[in-house]
Chains A and B, each alone.
Chain A
Amino acid sequence: MALSDATDATAQAGQGTPARKPTRIFKNLSSKIASLPMVFTALVIFVGGTVWTIVYSFTSSGLLPRLKWVGLDQYERLWSSRKWIVSIENLAIYGICSLILTLVIGFTLAALLDRKVRGEGVLRTIFLYPFALSFIVTGLVWQWILNPQLGLQNIIREMGWESFAFDPMNNSKIVMFGLLIAGLWQGTGLIMCIMLAGLRGIDEDIWKAARVDGIGTVKTYIRVIIPMMRPVFVTSLVLIGSGIVKLYDLVVAQTSGGPGISSQVPAMYVMTSMFGGQNLGQGFAASTMMLVTVVIILVPWAILEFGGKKRG
């Protein structure tokens, strides 16, 4: 800590301000003024907004926010709400499947593309283009493809497999998998790209050494390459994880939370209670729970990444 402070100070001194100046506030004044939008965003919107919502989650705010304390009432109501429980369960199913499948598919595609295939550019373009599209577009396309009367199910039945059934848009038991297919379609390209960048960063000599030792390709990937790509995997995990918690647009477009409440997700619960149900307190409590989830994901990562060594 002391060390990094010292280097900081020398770095600043090196950046041209005279060594001693009586008023510290005016040091670097232009820089401070230029950073005002950033300071405002960081302090007022990000910190202020978050703290405000957490504080008001302990009040009985309904149509309008008001400071009438009710302790943990909102949270008790939240956890006894059937809709919230369904939301959490859905997010858990979607999250676990999405996490595993995105990593597996992303890595496999990257590894296949890394085998010096022809037309890599074209394939990469195809795998990544869904990422440029919005979740709304993604949801609406898959809603159409999975349409039970006219879509995929119908075609496979017409091809002769009469008993084939895959109707996630109508079946509350598998609706989350319908969303999963769409979500994977949209998001795996990004992870593939990150993994591919990671694979390209691996020294060619590793492959030569593995070949000399007679280790097979698949085994080399599992035993040598994947452990070497730990930072890439961690980044991917954090990206996928924080994306999953935010899952909202896709559900709105593809299923609107239905059939019934079977594809509700926490972000949707927040939105309906805040802007639809005039039930601000519930929205605040639910969004605080979302924040807690993200903290649970991020803190172990932050400790792993930055805990051991000090920055710099």
Chain B
Amino acid sequence: MADSGTMTAAMTGPRGPKPKRAFNRTNIMIYGTLIVVALYYALPLYVMVVTSLKGLPEIQVGNIFAPPMEVTFEPWVKAWSQACTGINCDGLSRGFWNSVRILIPSLIISVAVASVNGYALSMWKFKGSEVFFGILMIGAFIPYQIMLYPIVILLREAGLYGSLTGLVLVHVAFGMPINTLLFRNYFASIPEELFKAARVDGAGFWAIFFRIMLPMSLPIFVVSLIIQVTGIWNDFLFGVTYISSPDRYPMTVQLNNIVNSVQGVKEYNVNMAATLLTGLVPLVIYFASGKLFVRGIAAGAVKG
């Protein structure tokens, strides 16, 4: 008993005290650095919030980091329902609803298409399927600018240029690489025996997909949805390229137009309220989804 006691003491001995001595100094350094960096990351969100709650006079004399002396929600109301872009003065709500109308169909179509793609690529390989997949993956890295104009022509031929439908199709196409990859890897990890058993029982392509694979793949659907919501909501390039009329601009494009418009007095509080409103949807998704968000970007990133 005593023997084993000294034994473990001898074994842990060199480990025990040494970290303890180093603990203080190293730890102060580690926590100090982390806290300073965390402040840098948190600062812009804080500045956005406090600026959006101040009145304009207070901003013009004060400190951007100071909390508001008098809290007002007027900038939020103004950003949402009165801010002007060009001739429209009905605020960011217009862009918000446009974005919602773009987001929902894009989400449904792109997740549906990507899940079927991933399923076909992992379980029903056909000649050339890997080649198409390879092209898709390379396409994710090519600068979008090179494909912008040909897509304008395609959409114009289809009579969809400038419409929300056109933009939805563009989002489906450009969301395809990452989401297909996600589903392909997920389905590839499902045991093959399951697939074979279903085949023996006479189930075909769609029966296996709907009756066996879909019920098993709820988590990956959530990950894919998170990627798509943030990706589509945050898009600027496609919105500004494929929407021809300011009435139909998505929220990001309208936000940029409101804040960077050169006319009139710069209302910094309204601008920050508008910015925060635009960032709210992805932020809510991020804080609500927690680990799944990380998993989504890690799955996409590490394997992409």
Choose, from A74-82, A172-180, A219-227, A241-249, the stretch at the interface: A241-249
Cβ of B283: which chain A residues have Cβ within 8 Å of it?
129, 132-133
- Which A residues touch B30, using CB under 8 A? 112, 115, 117
Interface flag for B96 (CB, 8 Å): no
B256, A294: Cβ atoms under 8 Å? no
Residue among A109, A133, A211 having the largest count of chain B Cβ atoms under 10 Å: A133
Question: Are B259 and A140 in contact, CB atoms less than 8 angstroms apart?
Answer: yes
* Distance to closest chain B CB from A210 (angstroms): 13
- Residue from B37, B233, B304 whose CB has the most chain A CB atoms within 10 Å: B37
B142: CB under 8 A from chain A? yes
Mark out the residues of chain B between 156 and 214 whose CB falls within 8 Å of any chain A CB in the assembled complex.
172-173, 176, 180, 195-196, 199, 204-206
Given A134-B234, A155-B63, A291-B146: A46 in contact with B204 (beta carbons within 8 A)? no
Alpha-carbon separation in the docked complex, A222 to B206 (Å) = 51
- Number of A-B residue pairs at CB separation under 8 A: 269
Interface contact A132-B275, CB-CB below 8 Å: no
A129-B294 in contact (CB<8A): no
Q: Verify B275–A137 contact, CB threshold 8 A.
A: yes
Report whether B47 and A145 are in contact in the complex, using a CB–CB cutoff of 8 Å: yes
Q: Quick one: which of A15-52 are within 8 Å of B by CB?
A: 15-16, 24, 27-28, 30-32, 34-35, 37-39, 41-50, 52
| Known pairs A15-B123, A137-B278, A150-B59; A41 contacts B176 (CB<8 A) | yes
Contact B116 A45 (CB under 8 A): no
Complex CA–CA separation, A126 to B283 (angstroms): 11
Q: Does A168 contact B (CB under 8 A)?
A: no
Task: Please encode chain B, from 108 to 144, with 1 for each CB lying within 8 Å of some chain A CB and 0 for all others.
Answer: 0000010011011101111101001101101101111
A204 within 8 A of B: no
Q: A253 CA to B239 CA in the complex, in Å? A: 14
Contacts A144-B64, A249-B236; A133 near B120 (Cβ below 8 A): no
CB–CB B64/A155 < 8 A? yes
A41 nearest CB neighbor, chain B only = B173
A21 to chain B, nearest CB (A): 12
**Residues of chain A lying within 8 A (CB to CB) of residue B233:** 134
CA–CA, A117 and B31, complex, Å: 8
In this assembly, does A193 line the interface, its C-beta being within 8 Å of a C-beta of chain B? Answer: yes
- Residues of B contacting A154 in the complex (Cβ-Cβ under 8 angstroms): 63
Say yes or no: B256 contacts A136, CB within 8 Å. yes
Complex CA–CA separation, A17 to B279 (angstroms):
50
* Alpha-carbon separation in the docked complex, A275 to B154 (Å): 16
Stretch at the interface among B38-46, B71-79, B80-88: B38-46
B33 on the interface (CB 8 Å rule)? yes
Q: Is the CB of A38 within 8 A of B132?
A: yes
A183 in contact (CB, < 8 A)? no
Contact B138 A141 (CB under 8 A): no
In contact, A45 and B151 (Cβ under 8 angstroms): yes
CA separation between A253 and B258, bound complex, in Å?
11
In the complex, whether A101 has a CB less than 8 A from a CB of chain B is no
Assuming the contacts A41-B173, A117-B31, A197-B302, asked whether A298 and B141 have C-beta atoms less than 8 A apart, the reply is yes
Known: A28-B126, A34-B120. Is A144-B268 also a contact (CB below 8 A)? yes
Contact in complex: A45, B256 (CB < 8 Å):
no
Q: How far, in whole Å, are A298 and B143 apart by their CA atoms in the complex?
A: 12
Where the two chains meet, the residues of B that have a C-beta atom closer than 8 Å to any C-beta of A are 15, 26, 30-31, 33-34, 37-38, 40-45, 47-48, 51, 59-60, 63-65, 113, 116-117, 119-121, 123-127, 129, 132-133, 135-136, 138-139, 141-151, 153-154, 172-173, 176, 180, 195-196, 199, 204-206, 230, 233-237, 241, 252, 255-256, 259-260, 268, 271-272, 275, 278-279, 282-283, 285-287, 290, 293-294, 297-298, 301-302, 304
20 extra A-B contacts, CB within 8 A, seeds A24-B127, A132-B286, A147-B268: A35-B120, A42-B136, A43-B135, A45-B150, A45-B154, A46-B136, A53-B146, A124-B294, A126-B42, A129-B45, A134-B233, A141-B275, A143-B259, A155-B64, A158-B63, A189-B41, A190-B301, A245-B143, A252-B256, A253-B260
21 contacts between A and B (CB under 8 A): A30-B204, A35-B116, A35-B117, A35-B126, A42-B132, A49-B146, A109-B37, A124-B294, A126-B41, A128-B286, A141-B47, A189-B41, A235-B301, A242-B141, A248-B236, A249-B236, A252-B256, A271-B145, A280-B149, A287-B145, A294-B143
